Amino acid sequence: METVEMNSVSLKRPHSEDDVANADEIKRQKTSEKSKTGNDSGQSIETVTEQPDKSLLEDTKNEIIPNEESEEQEDEELEDSDEDGDPESFADMMKHGLTESDVGITKFVSCHKGFSGILKERYSDFVVHEIGKDGRVSHLDDFSVPVDDEVNFEDPSEETFTVLSDEDKQRLEELQLLKNKETSVAIEVIEDTKEKRTVIHQAVKSLFPGLETKTEDRDGKKYIIAYHAAGKKALANPRKHSWPKSRGSYCHFVLYKENKDTMDAINVLSKFLRVKPNIFSYMGTKDKRAITVQEIAVLRITAQRLAHLNKCLMNFKLGNFSYKNHPLKLGELQGNHFTVVLRNITGTDDQIEQAMHSLREIGFINYYGMQRFGTTAVPTYQIGRAILQNNWNEVMDLILKPRPGAEKGYLVKCREEWAKTKDPAAALRKLPVKRCVEGQLLRGLLKYGMKNIISAFGIIPRNNRLMYIHSYQSYVWNNMVSKRIEEYGLRAVAGDLTLKGATAVHIEEGDVDNYTIHDVVMPLPGFDVIYPKHKIGEAYKEMLVADNLDINNMRHKIRDYSLSGAYRKIIIRPQNVNWEVVAYDDPRIPLFTTDLDKLEGKPLPVLPTDGKFRALKMEFSLPPSTYATMAIREVLKMDTSIKNQTQLNTTWLR
């Protein structure tokens, strides 16, 4: 087996379908904690699309700052109105972005000739099914609601969702969220019967956790009075009474979503259920521009309430409900199963067979994908390096200084003001969207002062801060793996590292024949790790010395920024690899059926035997923290960076 240097293959991209979004849903959403790009425990999927997602336009994901309700709402409206941005501005920005070679991605392991194809022409061309820790693949195949032996007042009837008027719901939500000075809300009972009063009581308590109700007579009329039971604390903790003891506290369900990332989906669900997002748990985040199927758990919300959302929401379906005694934890998943369609492929049948056989038999280099490093002219790994160097002035400068390429206008003005005045208050006034990292840092500087950058930086949510140093780790790892393959090829050699259980050991000269390249791991730099006993071990040290870092002392004086080391396989061999080439004429038609299609009884379109276009439909399973786009890169032999694709394919942006 030989390694092959990278070459770029242009992808010809026609305009793809417009993203469909429910306008009402968008207004209801507020972005909450997001960590997908910086989290090793979940599957990461890179998006290469005809229109940039919001996540591609910023270094990091935005997060809510607690107790900033009005500001948060303004930010949301601004971002919704400017979500797609100007395609040509995006292309201009990408001229200053990163290519794969900038982050150490330079090698291939297969020998076939590359060919072109369109990745994610439609978001439905990329389908992800989560694989649980028991090895079971999550599917949405059942909408039924489990029936308890014990009757529960918390289980709402269908009438519960319609008995309250929109005005009543608005007033109750404001009361629940403590948005006004009212201490109670009175709802007149028009048809005064005990049954009617019971339904209203049930509706208020089911739909608005934290509120209690009582019946009062006023001027000869009956009113249901809603009031707060436990203040703000009740919002984060759903009602504990009237929940059957025999029922598990968590409702587990399968979430099927289209063109939404996981946290966006949870924000929508929590808004419709009127609960805090932190009562939801999941095993891994899934990307936006795809159809994804994953398991979610929620604390003390009934399956019936969840199932009702299927009538209210677009782009989501919930099913396969069950009650359990435990939540879900990040990293518990075994991996993800992908179904990917690459449209308008140019490869010959022989090239495709060679590419897919190589993917199945050899695998692909386990690089960290491009989304790990940001998309602007200031890569996230540079900020991570400055943090590790304890160079806080540079951290501040890298985040706030003007940068080449197109950005949203308010960010440009904010950076220009910062460069001119170094006044955080003045720069903040130029920034209407204050949930971005720049806004968070400026608020921190305003609060703690210019001489306490560490505390100011600490205002940025922890996941975002750690993302920077993990990006640096990934940058080092990518570069070192490319050097390792260049130096020794695709074979195990003496001095390599392999894992025995959770422990890394060196491969000795006499044992080399007992190992293959699939057994070899490389370290992510950090404390308590060992390095290869050959040239690459020295290369690690040289790279970190050049960055003014001590490879033998990766502990930081701030505990959060101490890099714990880990080991990562050089080559990943996907499991359950299957593929077929199909012909089609209409680029808008789906080329396979989804879980939802099957539930709704939709047949697969009849495809022509001799269509104008050919598509490669491929399936494979990957473990956590591996990048599906790196597998697809190996098949197509293309640079997956957005910069490269925008430069090669400017016509599809117009």
Active-site residues, by number, are 287
Distance, in Å, from the CA atom of 28 to the CA atom of 240, rounded to the nearest integer, reads 26
> What's the gap between Cα 16 and its chain centre?
22
Cα 580 from Cα 633, distance rounded (Å): 18
d(CA 472, CA 386): 10
CA-to-CA dists, residue 302 to 143, 249, 324, angstroms? 14, 9, 12
Helix (H) or strand (E) holding 171: helix 166-176
Interacting residues of 399 by C-beta distance below 8 A, sequence separation 6+: 59, 378, 383, 437, 438, 441
CB distance 293 to 131 below 8 Å: no
Residue whose pair of structure tokens reads 């910086």 in the numeric block = 38
Q: Are 408 and 416 in contact (CB under 8 A)?
A: no
Beta bridge partners of 613: 584
Structural tokens at position 597: 């299609």
R_g (Cα) of the chain, nearest Å: 27
Structure tokens at 245: 């003891």
The per-residue DSSP string of 454-513 comes to: HHHHTTS-HHHHHHHHHHHHHHHHHHHHHHHHHHH-SS--TT-EEEETTEEEEPPGGGGG
DSSP calls for 173-223: HHHHTT-SS-SEEEEE-SS--HHHHHHHHHHHHHHSTTEEEEEEEETTEEE
Q: Token digits for 165?
A: 């008027």
